Chain A
Amino acid sequence: MGSAGARPTLFLRNATGLVKAWSTFDAFVYSFWSVNLITLGLYGMSFAYTVPNGQLLAAILIFGLLTTFLVGTYAMLVSVMPRTGGDYAWQSRVLGGGLGFVLSITGWWFTLFLWAPIYANILVVQFFSPLAYTLGWTNVATFFTSQNGIFVSCLIVLAFVSVVVTLGMEVYARIQKICFWIGLVGLAVTCALLLFASQSDFQNAFNREATSLFGAPANAYQATIDAASKTFSGQDFGYFAFGPIFLLLPWLAFYLLWPNWGATLYGEVRGAKDIRKPFWSMFWGLWVTVALVALVMILIVKTMGWNFYQSANAAYWNNLFAVQGAVAPPVPIWPYPVMFAGWLVDNHLFQALLILVMGLWFFGWAGTLFLSSTRVIFAAAFDRVLPAWAANISAKRRVPYGSLILMIVPSVVISAVYAYRPTFTSVFLDATAVLALTFFATVVAAIILPWRRKDLYDASPIARYKIAGVPLITVVGVITGLFLLFMLYQWSFNGDNLYGTSFQKTPNSVYYFLATYIVAVVIYVSARIYRSRQGIDLRRIHHEIPVE
């Protein structure tokens, strides 16, 4: 029985499905993983050196603030349409079936092919390479930098993701929780090492291990800064200029734009009708990460030195991308702050253990790579846009082999392109932008929802939230939309090609993404024609039946 004060306000009877709400903490863990501080976070922020005078801490806080509006928009959409949640369903029901299919399928299906090699690269630079070097397995480490090694790492990621899908979400959710707690312990140890060491302690440790593990000459710390100085003018953490802060936002999107990653799943949750649960789970997932990343940044500044850390990033990436004038750094691997922190303890076994423990941030997170994709493919198959076999599930082990094939096979091809055709690198840099475009379409759907689907909106709990008479979802959606539009503009048209994705400088990515949108349109139009011959009108899937 519900009650307000002493009086009951609701009488329930015994009926199926009357469950107690899900734990906000459980959903928080999922959201927290989606904006993964270690894997995506450290990787994405290692490109921040490309923005001269960009104040990273301020940019992170601004990004957190703006992404809160995205969280609000998605939480309200979940609240209006909980059972059929997810970008595909929202876009289809508000913008129309065709537009919904094209925009969401390009983001949640075609673009996620690109994320498999990105995940693989993160696995290599944060796990295989540092672990192998620490244990003295130089051959293993160098193998993963070869083209075959890159391809093998992609296959490892795809195999891992397939195993997770086969195990099922219930088993993986348990694994995630274990990884979450042990990973947090690893992070606490890393932070403690950085907190209690001085900058000279770090310089000594860095110089010692650079020589011990990589055979670098003495004073590798200074040599790293010197190597970067050929192509990088250095950075001062305390410098503050407003413009460059905003230019950092598209880089931060690489990891901080995804607290809503689980929104495609909330539709299955009865508690989602209550706006507070999805909002707070996504909100805390975002802001706990923001707080932790701020802490890690400050500790890096204190102990490693900001100019050194940014120089290490610049030296590594500029050398890898063969920027004119770049020279190889003395420590020729990606500057992994966890590995560097581990060097503060002069014990290779401890260092390896720390890398292993922090690797759980990858293994607790990467398994859900295709989870949302399979849901979108299922939804499109049930709508008869894709063939029925796309939603097939094996009888014995409950493996969604249809959607898995549709994800894995193209991902293997794309991974091969990534490994063996370096000229296509810019395509992979666009992986964030295309998902942002999908989010933008969902945000547009949210903005016009109160008018376009008045029936749904008026019946929802958010109908009472207004600002100056304007529906709150519209106000929040407009702010989110402007934020996303700014980043989309920068990715597409930044004159300096800051993100490696400007249309004028990267024709390969333009062709690739145009091709994906064309393929999506072709699939939809073909399905419309084919189903029409079967007597099925795809346009009526989302047509509302009159009530009166």
Chain B
Amino acid sequence: MPRVFFATDLHGSEMCWRKFLNAAKFYDADVLICGGDMTGKAMIPIVEENGHYTVTIASERQVVGGDQVADIENQIRRKGYYPLHVTPARLQELDQDADVRKATFQQIMLDGVRRWMNMAAEKLRGSGVRIFVCPGNDDEMEVDDVVRESDMVELGEGRMVEIDGFTMISTGWSNHTPWNTHREETEEKLGERIEAMARQVSDQSRAIFNLHCPPFRSGLDEAPAIDADLKLLHGGRALRPVGSTAVKEAIEKHQPLLSLHGHIHESKGAVKLGKTLSINPGSAYEEGMLMAAIINLDAKKGIKSYQLVNG
């Protein structure tokens, strides 16, 4: 019976993606599922000027020679950012033109996803391990096309897939957030999206709902409270439930065996919602730590065991 390894919200951290791929061997997993928000949030310019390179990482400005650039790029990728080689003139253009900046960001991001797909193929081709990726609300729509091009990684979004006798449905769409990201919609529409897939599942006792957004008020959806200016309130101590009511209703209605979530990095946990075990493994991608869940599925018991790990 399959052992599932689920991680989510890697946000461009190449160190976490490499760990994700290596988790198959490390934990003897049969199925790897990446729950969404694969792409990074920032690009860091490496400015080439007079034969040297200037870059600022974590507020520290560095000027390095050409032989150190590869190391700098690795440092940037490890943190989940994208390195961007530019001349001073190109940097100025990016600074002043929002459209150019957006197009450059998309290009560098898609190149990053393509790079990850190639790494997956190199690492796991012929291993028998299945890899699923379901882009999240932070991932632009074009990411799906890049994943589809891969012959190793399977796209989860909007599909119902069979995994050794279990059925998984997936979506990376979320309810509205203050950031107005790429895959957000009203609770009503999100509910329809999930329902369209869920009603096709014949046996909910063997169903896995891979839904990026956690259910509302489940304990898996508590994010630091912010004000209208996106400023953290009360020293970051005050938490508010921000999950989806549509996701909650879908779980309550269909009672799948397992539901997998992410989206809220701070809200690591595993809870029972009726018959459903709902898991959000959390995310600490900035630290290069891969927070994940290992779920041992069983033909008779459904879920034989599960464990949250910090790999």
> Which residues on A are within 8 Å of B, measured CB to CB?
1-2, 4, 7-23, 26-27, 29-30, 80-84, 93, 168-170, 173-174, 262, 265-273, 281, 378, 382-384, 388, 391-393, 395, 398, 455-456, 459-461, 464, 531, 534-537, 540-548
**Which residue of A7, A29, A82 has the most chain B CB atoms within 10 A of its CB atom?**
A7
Question: 8 A–B contact pairs at CB < 8 A?
Answer: A10-B42, A15-B179, A16-B263, A23-B232, A265-B236, A384-B308, A393-B219, A546-B19
Given contacts A15-B138, A541-B307, 11 further A-B contacts (CB under 8 A): A13-B41, A19-B232, A22-B232, A84-B310, A269-B235, A378-B269, A391-B219, A460-B287, A464-B60, A545-B311, A547-B15
- Given A265-B237, A268-B266, A541-B310: A83 and B287 interface contact (C-beta under 8 Å): yes
**Which residue of A13, A268, A398, A535 has the most chain B CB atoms within 10 A of its CB atom?**
A13
- Given A8-B91, A83-B266, A455-B288: A169 and B41 interface contact (C-beta under 8 Å): no
Report chain B residues within 8 Å CB of A460: 287
- Given A22-B235, A269-B224: A83 and B311 interface contact (C-beta under 8 Å): no
Query: B284 near A84 (CB under 8 angstroms)?
Result: yes
CA distance A13 to B309 in the complex (A): 30
B43, B78, B237, B304: the one contacting A173 at CB < 8 Å is B237
B196: Cβ under 8 A from any A Cβ: no
CA distance A519 to B265 in the complex (A): 33
- Given A4-B61, A8-B95, A382-B269: A536 and B305 interface contact (C-beta under 8 Å): yes
Report chain B residues within 8 Å CB of A4: 56, 61
CA distance A29 to B15 in the complex (A): 37
Size bracket of the B interface: 35 or more
Residues of B259-311 at the interface with A, using a CB-CB cut-off of 8 Å, are 263, 265-266, 268-272, 282-284, 286-291, 296, 304-311
CA distance A29 to B237 in the complex (A): 12
B230: Cβ under 8 A from any A Cβ: yes
Report chain A residues within 8 Å CB of B238: 168-170, 173
B233: Cβ under 8 A from any A Cβ: yes
A81, A83, A269, A392: the one contacting B282 at CB < 8 Å is A83
B45: Cβ under 8 A from any A Cβ: yes
0/1 string, B173-198, CB within 8 A of A gives 1: 00001011100000000000000000
Query: B22 near A545 (CB under 8 angstroms)?
Result: yes
Report chain B residues within 8 Å CB of A398: 217, 219, 241
Report chain A residues within 8 Å CB of B239: 168-170, 268
CA distance A82 to B285 in the complex (A): 11
- Given A9-B45, A17-B265, A83-B266: A281 and B235 interface contact (C-beta under 8 Å): yes
**Which residue of A17, A83, A169, A273 has the most chain B CB atoms within 10 A of its CB atom?**
A17
CA distance A265 to B266 in the complex (A): 11
- Given A22-B236, A170-B238: A535 and B18 interface contact (C-beta under 8 Å): no
B15, B233, B291: the one contacting A170 at CB < 8 Å is B233
Query: A22 near B22 (CB under 8 angstroms)?
Result: no
Query: A535 near B310 (CB under 8 angstroms)?
Result: no
A173, A269, A545: the one contacting B290 at CB < 8 Å is A545
Report chain B residues within 8 Å CB of A13: 41-42, 102, 105
Report chain A residues within 8 Å CB of B271: 391-393
Query: B235 near A16 (CB under 8 angstroms)?
Result: no
B15, B229, B234, B272: the one contacting A26 at CB < 8 Å is B234
Residues of B14-68 at the interface with A, using a CB-CB cut-off of 8 Å, are 15, 18-19, 22-23, 26-27, 37, 41-45, 47, 55-56, 58-61
Query: A534 near B41 (CB under 8 angstroms)?
Result: no
Report chain B residues within 8 Å CB of A267: 266
CA distance A500 to B289 in the complex (A): 44
Query: A541 near B308 (CB under 8 angstroms)?
Result: yes
Query: A7 near B232 (CB under 8 angstroms)?
Result: no
Report chain B residues within 8 Å CB of A15: 11, 41, 138, 179, 181
Please, which residue of chain A has its CB at the minimum distance from the CB of B18? A547
CA distance A323 to B22 in the complex (A): 66
Query: A545 near B43 (CB under 8 angstroms)?
Result: no
CA distance A320 to B304 in the complex (A): 58
Report chain B residues within 8 Å CB of A269: 224, 232, 235-236
Report chain A residues within 8 Å CB of B268: 382
